[in-house]
Amino acid sequence: MTDRPITKHSWAGPKPTLDAGQTFLSEFMDEAAVSFRPLPGPDGLAPVEGSPEADDGDWLLEYYAYSDIDIHGVEARLAAFLEALGLDWGVVRREGSETLPETNWVQYSLEGLGLVEVGRFVLYGTHDEGKAPSSDSIISIRIDANQAFGTGHHPTTFGCLSMLDRFAGAPPTRALDLGCGSGVLAIAAAKLWGIHIHGVDIDPTSVDIARENARLNGVRDLTSFDVADGPMHAAVLGVAPFDFVFANILAGPLVEFAPGMGEIMAAGGRVLLAGLMAEQENGVRDAYSAAGFKLINRLPPATPVGDPAHPPQHPVWPILLFVKV
Which tens digit of pLDDT belongs to each residue from 72-105? Answer: 989 998 999 899 888 999 999 999 998 876 554 4
Domain membership flag for residue 131: no
Give the strand order in the sheet containing 121-124: 116-118, 121-124, 139-142
DSSP string, 82-118: HHHTT--GGG-EEEEEEEEEEE-HHHHHHHT---EEE
- In this prediction, residue 36 carries a pLDDT of 83
Q: Are residues 306 and 170 in the same domain?
A: yes
User: Rounded to whole angstroms, how far apart are CA atoms 195 and 167?
Assistant: 13
Cα–Cα distances (Å) from 133 to 20, 60, 122, 143, in that order, read 32, 33, 8, 15
Q: Are residues 101 and 176 in the same domain?
A: no
Domain end: 88, 109, 130, which one?
Answer: 109
Exposure string for 6-21, b = 16+ CB within 10 A, e = fewer: bbbbebebbbbbbbbb
Give the per-residue pLDDT at 124: 83
Q: Could you tell me if residue 92 is inside a domain?
A: yes
pLDDT (0 to 100) of residue 214: 97
> 0.95 cut: is pTM over it?
no
State the pLDDT confidence band at 316, using cuts at 50, 70 and 90: low
Decide: 253 and 203 in contact? Cβ < 8 Å. Answer: no
Domain count within the chain: 2
The answer to whether residue 235 sits within a structural domain is yes
Report helix, strand or coil for 163. Answer: helix
In whole angstroms, give the CA distance from residue 282 to residue 286.
6
Q: Are residues 175 and 311 in the same domain?
A: yes
Three-class SS of residue 172?
Answer: coil
Question: Of 109, 143, 174, which residue constitutes the final position of a domain?
Answer: 109
| pLDDT average, residue stretch 194-216 | 94
Instruction: Tell me whether residue 140 is in a domain.
Output: no
| Helix, strand or coil, per DSSP, at residue 124 | strand
* Residue 174 sits in the same domain as residue 74: no
- Full domain range(s) for residue 318: 152-324
The average confidence (pLDDT) of the chain is 83
Query: 85 near 277, Cβ under 8 Å?
Result: yes
Report the share of the chain in percent with pLDDT over 70.
79
CB 196 within 8 A of CB 223: yes
**Whether residue 229 sits in one domain with residue 102:** no
Rounded distance between C-alpha atoms, residue 317 and residue 142, angstroms: 24
Q: Answer whether residue 303 shows pLDDT above 50.
A: no
Q: What is the pLDDT of residues 143-176, one digit of tens each?
A: 875 543 455 556 788 889 989 999 988 899 999 9
Residue 147 in any domain: the answer is no
Interval 207-219 mean pLDDT: 95
More reliable by pLDDT, 216 or 24? 216
